[in-house]
Amino acid sequence: MNMREIVFDTETTGVNPASGDRMVEIGCVELVNRCPTGREYHAYFNPERSMPSEAEAVHGLSTIFLSDKPLFGDKCEELLDFIGDAPLIAHNAGFDFGFLNAELAHCGRDPVCLSRMICTLVMARSKHPGSKHSLDALCSRFGVDRTARVKHGALLDAQLLAQVYVELTGGRQIGLSLLAETRSGDQAVASDAGFVTAPRAIRPARPHEPSLDELAAHTQFIAKMKEPLWAALGTA
C-alpha cells in the first residue's frame, strides 16, 4: 500500500494567531512512500491587516504585495482537497498547525486533527541531541542544497524540509534493503524492497582434480621436454 504524506510550511504576520496574526503563505509537497511525486500546492493570502516590519524582514512579503492576493477562505477548499487525510509534516509543527487551524476556524471549518501532525524538530532533537536543529542546520547536516534560501519562503522551505524528512526517516535508500527473507523450500521469496525473487537451483560443486587421462597426457607431454622445470621440482 502506498503511503502518502504532505510536507508543508507557512509564513505569517507574526507568532501568535490568538493575538490577530494571520497566515500569508503556505507551501505543500506531496510524498508517496517518502519520495516527492512532483505534486505541490502553493498560495499567498491577503491577511486583511498590515505586515509588521519584523515579519517582512524574515520572508519579504509586504502589505502591498499581499493586498491583491485571495483571502484564505477563497482557497480553503482547494487546500483541503490537496492535503486530504494524509499525515502533515512540518518543522516546529505546532506553530504551523496553530496558524492553519486558526485560519480554518475563521472560515467556520473543522480543525486539522493534531494526531496527523509529524514534527521534524522533535525528530531531529531525538536523533541528534545537543546539535543545532534549525532547517538550515539540518540541511547542512544532510547535504541538502539550500543556496536558494535567501529569505524564508513557504514552498521552498517545504521542498527543503521534504529532503530533510527523508534523511531523518532513513535516508535516500529507505526501503531498499538487499537482505531477503529466509528461503523455505523452493518457494519464491519476497525481499525487504518489496519485489519477489525466483527460486534458485543449487548446482553441484565442480570437480577440480585432474582425471587419470589428463594425468597420463601431462606425463607424456613432460617426457618430450628437455630438463623440464616440473621434473626438477618433483611435480611431474
Asked whether residue 123 is assigned to any structural domain, the reply reads: yes
pLDDT at 171: 76
pLDDT per position as a tens digit, 144-170: 998 888 788 999 999 999 999 999 998
pLDDT at 108: 96
pLDDT at 37: 97
Distance of CA 11 to the CA centre of its chain: 22
pLDDT of residue 33 exceeding 70: yes
For residues 159 and 222, membership in a common domain is answered with no
For residues 162 and 226, membership in a common domain is answered with no
Give the CA angle between residues 69, 71, 73 to the nearest 5°: 150
Nearest Cα residue to 7 out of 37, 34, 28: 28
pLDDT at 209: 75
pLDDT of residue 70 exceeding 80: yes
pLDDT at 189: 41
pLDDT at 28: 98
For residues 23 and 100, membership in a common domain is answered with yes
Give percent of the chain above pLDDT 70: 81
pLDDT at 231: 62
Which of the residue ranges 1-15, 25-39, 67-81, 211-225 would you say has the lowest mean pLDDT? 211-225
Average pLDDT rounded to a whole number, residues 129-142 = 94
pLDDT at 217: 84
Question: Is the separation of the CB atoms in 90 and 117 below 8 Å?
Answer: yes
For residues 34 and 139, membership in a common domain is answered with yes
Asked whether residue 180 is assigned to any structural domain, the reply reads: no
185: left (phi over 0), alpha (psi -120 to 50) or beta: left
pLDDT of residue 26 exceeding 50: yes
Question: Which CATH number is 140's domain given?
Answer: 3.30.420.10
| Cα distance between residue 153 and residue 13, in whole Å | 13
Give percent of the chain above pLDDT 90: 68
What total number of domains does the chain contain? 2
Domain span holding position 218: 210-236
Asked whether residue 48 is assigned to any structural domain, the reply reads: yes
For residues 138 and 219, membership in a common domain is answered with no
- The question of whether 152 is a catalytic residue gets the answer yes
Catalytic residue among 59, 128, 152, 218: 152
Q: Using the CB atoms, write b or e for 132-147: b if 16+ within 10 Å.
A: ebebeebbebbebebe
Average pLDDT rounded to a whole number, residues 49-71 = 97
Average pLDDT rounded to a whole number, residues 135-140 = 95
Asked whether residue 73 is assigned to any structural domain, the reply reads: yes
Asked whether residue 194 is assigned to any structural domain, the reply reads: no
- Number of neighbouring beta carbons within 10 Å of residue 157: 25
Tell me the pLDDT of the chain averaged across its residues. Answer: 86
For residues 149 and 38, membership in a common domain is answered with yes
For residues 149 and 216, membership in a common domain is answered with no
Asked whether residue 203 is assigned to any structural domain, the reply reads: no
Kindly state the cell numbers that stand for 234: 618433483
Asked whether residue 174 is assigned to any structural domain, the reply reads: no
For residues 163 and 219, membership in a common domain is answered with no
pLDDT at 192: 39
Q: Which residues contact 192 (CB under 8 A, 6 or more apart)?
A: 175, 176, 177, 178, 179, 180, 181
Give the CA angle between residues 99, 102, 105 to the nearest 5°: 155
Kindly state the cell numbers that stand for 79: 487546500
pLDDT at 208: 67
For residues 164 and 217, membership in a common domain is answered with no
